[in-house]
Structure 1
Amino acid sequence: MLRPGLKSIWAVLLTAVVLLSAGLPVHARPGFFNRDVGTGAKPLSSSTPSGKLQEVAPPGAVQQLRQELQRHRPSLRLVDPSNDTIVATQELELSFEIDDWPLNNDPELGLGPHIAIQIDDRSPLRLSDSDGNRLTVRIDDLEAGSHRFSAWAAYPWGEAVQSPGASIQGRVHLWQKLQGTQPDRDAPWLVPVPPAGEQGLQPLLVDWLLWNAPLQNLREGDGRWRLRISIDGDSFLVDHQEALWLKGSNGAGSHDIQMELLNGLGEPITPVFNNQLVHLKAPSGPKPGWMRSRLNESQLARLSGSPEPEMPETVEQPKEAPQKAEQPPQLAPVEIEIEAETETETETETETDPIARENSDHEPPQSPLAQDQATTEASQPTPTKEEPADNDPPMNTSDNTPPVAEKPTESLEQPAKAEVKLMPSSSLGGSARELLNSDGSLRKP
């Protein structure tokens, strides 16, 4: 227990401290963000691009590529050296590992998905080649001391992928760590993300990364930070992390993009690290593939690093030789008996011609001389096989084979022969034969 004298001494000291400190102001350590809600000040409201600036939709090829690459979830890791370590060498070598990101660089369409690495305030380095999933970059012009770096998976046009694990940040020290030259480990710092190629192509890509920034807008009036963007003199405020596509300003020339990180009341936050200027040079050369209005399937696959679609193989059919026109079959010549043909034609004409048939039914009566001639012909004996007729050829007595009568033949292709003119003959003798000429007409006295 304290003695009574000591108690009185402690009471006098505490009273003196209270009385002396009552009239002194309380100085709170200024924070990075606006945490003083007792002042009644309202955070700044965000604004949209104005003046010559107008927010527009990204090019058609960008929309196609974004949709194609949405199925990937890149994961980026630092392998060597470890974060916040001291490296006793003048040549710094950084190694990373990347998963699920199709690195690509097409010779015709340009840079595809890649990894961007920025050290301090330098322009970013873009890597599209890897050894498996390992990427390595060597930097030999850094001065001794402390340095900060950021790395992110980037789309072909340069925009940073905002999914978790797609970006990392760290610090490295050459020979010795220097305090106060880099932001603290928990301090916010801004990294502008320029478009690929660092050219002022229209529409303009405006993108950034913000490390150690707290969540905001979870409730009304909860504005912790603002980003002021100024492009060629026109400014506006944003309060969320999202890339913008802007059109306007001074057309197709060069552009200056300034970014300033502010707290909710509009006050700068460590401007030495968070007040950055990006200069985009005037466009030159052919436009990159992602600036096109549309890509076909092959171009989309090549620029996104995806396998190209297989084209169906076309097999050429052998040409068939022209077929010759079929010729009508040749008709074999048909042998016809002249006598039978003559009889058939006579019978056909008689049957088909009614006048001839009528004439045949009403033939004029024959003369007595013709009747006598017909009776004489009918009375002559008919030749038999043993007794050949006068007109038949003689039989071959040296051959036992019966002779075959040779019949005249005629082809259908030849014109029909004229009808055989029958010559009247008579076997009459004496005075009756002497009265007839050779053609059967009566001789004139």
Structure 2
Amino acid sequence: MKSIWAVLLAAVLLLGAGLPVHARPGFFNRDTGSAAKPLPSSAPSGKLQEVAPPGAVQQLRQNLQRHHPSLRLSDPSNDSIVSSDALELRFEIEDWPLSNDPELGLGPHVVLKIDNRAPLRLSESNGNLLKVRIDGLEAGSHRFSAWAAYPWGEAVQSPGASIQGRLHLWQKLQGTQPERDAPWLVPVSPAGEQGLQPLLVDWLIWNAPLQNLREGDGRWRLRISIDGDSFLVDHQEALWLKGSNGSNRHDIQMELLNGLGEPITPVFNNQLIHLKAPAGPKPGWMRPHLTESQLARLSGSPEPEALEVVESPPEPPQKAEEKQQEKTEQPRELPQVEIKIEKEVEDEVKTQPEADPKPTAPEESEEQEAEPPLAEEPSKAEVALPTPPTPAQEKPAEPQQPAEQEPKLMPSSSLGGSARELLNSDGRLRKP
């Protein structure tokens, strides 16, 4: 009997000791008690340093703040069974300008991630409908996440901008995916999956409760390790980190922990991102500054009309000379008016009668030319004769007729006697 009791006691002790080992604490320390203190968060250390995002990223974020993307799965429905070797998903996206510029790179887009596969980036839609075909999925259950993403790959954190669900090919397989209310981690890699500096570190945590609402209310922690340097974060916000391990490739590991630092279902919440070395030109969002045209193209907005005028080719030299000539000719209109007025004044003055009764010099010369030349030298008596006065003209002289048509001047004198008898009737001296 003693041996039987001993066996039973040993069995009870063994089973009692094993209960705490198999009993899991709640995902977020629900059973840890009030004495447990959450693990404090820490800042990036070692070679890692948190920095501001590139200037182009800040411009794009500000430009896209007016959008509030809404994403939903339209077909097939969540948690449905698909009887097909290929899976075709259809999403509806609203208020998110999808774009892909050939020069600047990917603009706003939608990211689809299935299980631990590489993310698919969707930038083309038919209206607001997105359609994507997934080949090569094994039969069974799968989980997926989809979210609206900025041009550099960061997930939009506003409500309705991201969704998650489960799909099954041919049949459900229990235990292969997280439970409906269980937390699971989705790492968000930068667009292009390249190790560009500074590094974008971003993630999504599904079914993670709010924390830090009061002091000591830490429910979860995320351990981030980049090339061997680790730190803890307790908030869901993207980081920009600068650091170098001597190469252009980087490995980013993310582990979801509870408040005490214990792993939470690591099969789904211990993820690794490998960023390859950069190749080709840098994407547009890595630039320190974007012009108005580049900002519009990279954010999926129409280009401003004012920029088209600035970029237009210069005018031909001939048109430029014509415009310059028009500018130089415009001030000359006023002098031309003044000259016209002065000319009218001069014409009015000429039409008025002259006040001076004296004959002008040209008239005297004409009268002198009209005198007949003497055939012989005149005598002293003839020279002594007075010249008859020329009558004054009260009006302006009319146009003169030719000299040969004017009547010849006849001498007139009041003298009588022998001196008068020496002249002929035509005024010439009589011959002896």
* Same-fold status (TM-score > 0.5): yes
**Secondary structure of 1:311 counterpart:** helix
Match of 2:120 among 115, 125, 131: 125
Aligned counterpart, 1:415: none
1:74 aligns with 2:74: no
| Deviation of the 1:24 alpha carbon | 4.0
Letter in 2 for 1:186: D
Aligned to 1:407: 400
Q: Within the alignment, does 1:44 sit opposite 2:53 as a pair?
A: no
Shift in alpha-carbon separation, 1:103–1:372, aligned structure 2, 3 A: closer
Deviations 1:121-153 (CA, angstroms, capped at 9, x unpaired): 011101011111111110111111111100000
Tell whether 2:64 aligns with 1:35. Answer: no
Residue in 1 aligned with 2:142?
147
* C-alpha distance after superposition, 1:382-428 (max 9, x if no partner): 99xxxxxxxxxxxxxxxxxxxx998379xxxxxxxxxxxxxxx9999
Classify the secondary structure of the residue corresponding to 2:305.
Answer: coil
What code does the residue aligned with 2:109 have?
H
Which of residues 360, 363, 383 in structure 2 aligns to 1:341? 360
Aligned equivalent of 1:229: 224
How far residue 224 of structure 1 moved from its aligned partner, in angstroms, is: 1.3
Q: Please state which structure has a larger fraction of its residues in helix.
A: 2
Q: Choose from 156, 163, 177 the match for 1:168.
A: 163
Whether 2:178 is the aligned partner of 1:183: answer yes
Give 1:297's aligned residue. 292
What is the distance in 2 between the residues matched to 1:313 and 1:40? Answer: 67
**Cα RMSD between the aligned structures?**
4.2
Give CA deviations for 1:197-249 in whole Å, capped at 9, x if unaligned.
Answer: 00111111000000111221122111111100001111000000000000112
Change (3 A) 1:49 1:369: same
Contact 2:25–2:32, Cα closer than 8 Å, also in 1: no
Among residues 49, 52, 59, which one is paired with 2:54 in the alignment? 59
Aligned to 1:310: 305
Distance 2:148 2:307 in 1: 35
- State how far apart, in whole Å, the 2-side matches of 1:304 and 1:231 are: 30
Provide closer, same or farther for how the CA distance between residues 341 and 102 of structure 1 changes in structure 2, counting only shifts above 3 A: same
Residue 255 of structure 1 is aligned with which of 246, 250, 254? 250
How far apart, CA to CA, are the structure 2 residues paired with 1:182 and 1:124?
A: 18
What is the correspondence of 1:187-266 to structure 2 with a 5 Å cutoff?
A: 187-250=182-245, 253-266=248-261
Question: What pairs up with 1:91-130 in 2 under 5 angstroms?
Answer: 91-130=86-125
1:200–1:252 CA contact under 8 A, matched in 2: no
Conserved 8 A contact 2:153-2:190: yes
Instruction: Provide, for residues 168-212 of structure 1, a one-character-per-residue CA deviation record: whole Å limited to 9, x for no partner.
Output: 111111111112211111111100000000011111100000011
The structural deviation recorded for 1:250 is 2.8
Alignment length, in residue pairs? 355
Which residue of structure 2 lines up, in the alignment, with residue 275 of structure 1?
270
SS at match of 2:360: helix
1:249 to 1:369, Cα distance in 2 relative to 1, 3 A? same
The higher radius of gyration belongs to: 1
In structure 2, the CA distance between the partners of 1:345 and 1:302, relative to structure 1 (3 Å rule), is farther
Matched with 2:132 is 137
- Tell me how far apart the structure 1 counterparts of residues 90 and 29 of structure 2 sit (CA, whole Å): 38
Distance in 1, matches of 2:115 and 2:258, equals 22
1:345 CA displacement: 9.9
Residues 405 and 275 from structure 1, CA distance in 2 versus in 1: closer, same or farther, beyond 3 angstroms? Answer: closer
Q: Distance in 1 between matches of 2:46 and 2:239?
A: 16
Partners of 1:407 and 1:428 lie apart in 2 by: 35
Pair 341,259 (structure 1): closer, same or farther in 2 beyond 3 Å: same
Distance in 1 between the 2:247 and 2:143 partners?
A: 33
- State the shift of 1:29 in Å: 4.0
Give how far 1:37 is off: 3.8
Matched residue type, 2:69: P
Give the Cα–Cα distance (whole angstroms) in 1 for the partners of residues 297 and 238 of structure 2. Answer: 24
Q: Unpaired segments of 5 or more residues in structure 2?
A: 1-11, 366-379, 392-396, 403-411, 423-432
**Equivalents in 2 of 1:105, 1:370: separation in Å?**
122
Contact 1:373 1:428 in 2 (8 A): no
Aligned letter for 1:301? Answer: A
Structure 1: gaps of 5 or more residues: 1-19, 347-367, 384-403, 410-424, 435-445
Q: For 2:243 and 2:250, locate their aligned partners in 1 and report how far apart those are by CA, in whole Å.
A: 11
Whole-Å Cα distance in 2 between the matches of residues 345 and 237 of structure 1?
124
Task: Write the deviation string for residues 6-52 of structure 1: whole angstroms up to 9, x where unpaired.
Answer: xxxxxxxxxxxxxx89x945544433222234373321100000111
Residue 310 of structure 1, CA deviation? 2.1
Distance of aligned partners of 1:125 and 1:24 in 2 relative to their CA distance in 1, 3 Å threshold: closer
Contact 1:59 1:292 survives alignment (8 Å): yes
For residue 302 of structure 1, give the secondary structure of its aligned residue in structure 2. helix
- Could you give the per-residue CA deviations for residues 283-335 of structure 1, whole angstroms, max 9, x where no partner exists? 11111111111112221111111222222897988937777997998x9999x
